[in-house]
Amino acid sequence: MLSRRLGTFISNIIAIIAAFLIAYTFRFGWEDADTFRNINDALVLSYLLLCYVAVFLIYKPSNLSGRRGLLRTFKESFFSMLFVAGLFASIVYMAHISDSIPRLFFGYFFSFYFVFSLVVSGITHRIIRSIQSRHKRQTVVFTDRKDKTKVIRNLVQNGADDFEIVGIAEVNAKGQSTFYRVYDGRFDKSDTDPMTFLKTHNVNLAIISVDHMDRERMASIIDIVGEMGIDSMVTLDSFAMETFDSKLEDFGTLEVVRFAPRIFSELSLFIKRVIDIIGGLIGCLFTIVLGIFVAPAILIEDGGPVFFRQKRVGKNGKYFYMYKFRSMYRDAEERRKKLMESGKNEMDGAMFKMKDDPRITKVGRFIRKTSIDEFPQFFNVLKGDMSLVGTRPPMIDEYQQYSRHHKRRLSLKPGITGLWQTSGRSEITDFEEVVRLDCYYIDHWSVLFDIKILLMTIVAVFTGKGSE
């Protein structure tokens, strides 16, 4: 819940500064120059901000979800204000500056701070909820309860604002399941197996909400879902899973356990995104400059278009359009089908690769050798569809051939570069080796690992290693 914690922090900092300025005005007035002999305003404001930072780091409300009732918000603001006041009083007393701070100013400030923290916090959380509602996690629910409507209603009423239930799997005592697609509260029975649906659709989360399901069957669902790289949440008391990370967290007003092959720190993911934005901006500038020279060369050899746009599969099966400088002839997709049919694919598994690919133009061979064709993907990074470092985004027909464990390589955003690309991609002919490298990257991911891969990429580009 990093976004909500961050929103709480920012809103309270704004409230403290606003309350201080208005309390200052009420007590002293802006035009009274003698004020500075009565109160060292900069020092006092610094103390107040430091007190709040200390309280913020120590005091964590029991619920940080979007379903924040007025009474809960009032209580959290009151206790936060009370702790700040107590800590501030202790500091000014020990610093022997309490006599220089008028009690009336003290009263004004904390009265205004309490009101402002309520107002600003409410506005901030409303903005966060609005943003999250437009980026909902596609969710499938597994349950052994007969009343599916009640299960959905309980999750919706008590849950967070950033999820949307798209399917529900009703599991009976024998372990057999019936799958229903969910549309606006309606349940449409489907012939699709729930695990097949997870494998072939953009699903970000699986929730297990049960009464009598035994641990072995529940563990089996978590294991299968986790193998696809999809997180699981269980609305039950926690229990250990040897092969998965688990984390107790809030899901609205419910307490759930998140199970995943790897649980990433939200702070680390935030840092990764900041690096992506900075790198994306720089990369887009380079792309524009390179385009001045690349575009005419492409147009002269094979006409337009200059850019190649192709639908790819991103994180957890979400489709997006990936951009490149066009390095192949315009009928490359039709040629690819013929090459596949004639057995020209040199890659074992759900991926096409061919040495001396006849679809590549002369200009294309140069920009591929120098990796210039990849530069437009920096726009994908800036949009948030891709990252600087990640796994290779598959084409749709490749994705449709995936086995269950293959989808796990899509549990992080795809990247312009990655461990596979820096390991000599033209020399790898087994798709399972690509999956192994991608899963190794996911299991060992860190910000420092990304930086290492970026440095390896720079070396690979200049040496031509792994490119064709």
What are the pLDDT digits (tens) for 243-276? 677 777 777 777 787 888 788 888 888 899 999 9
Cβ–Cβ under 8 Å, residues 394 and 351: yes
pLDDT of residue 445: 92
Cβ–Cβ under 8 Å, residues 323 and 393: no
Using one digit for the tens of pLDDT, what is the confidence trace for 216-240? Answer: 888 888 999 998 989 998 875 445 5
Q: How far is CA 185 from CA 151, 165, 204, in A?
A: 11, 9, 20
CA distance 417 to 308: 18
pLDDT of residue 427: 64
Residue 136, C-beta contacts closer than 8 angstroms, at least 6 positions apart: 162, 163, 164
Neighbour tally for 334: CB within 10 Å: 11
Give me 446's structure tokens.
């860190």
Neighbour tally for 389: CB within 10 Å: 31
Domains of the chain: 2-133 (no CATH), 137-260 (3.40.50), 266-463 (no CATH)
SS3 251: strand
Indicate yes or no: pTM above 0.85.
no
Mean pLDDT of the chain: 81
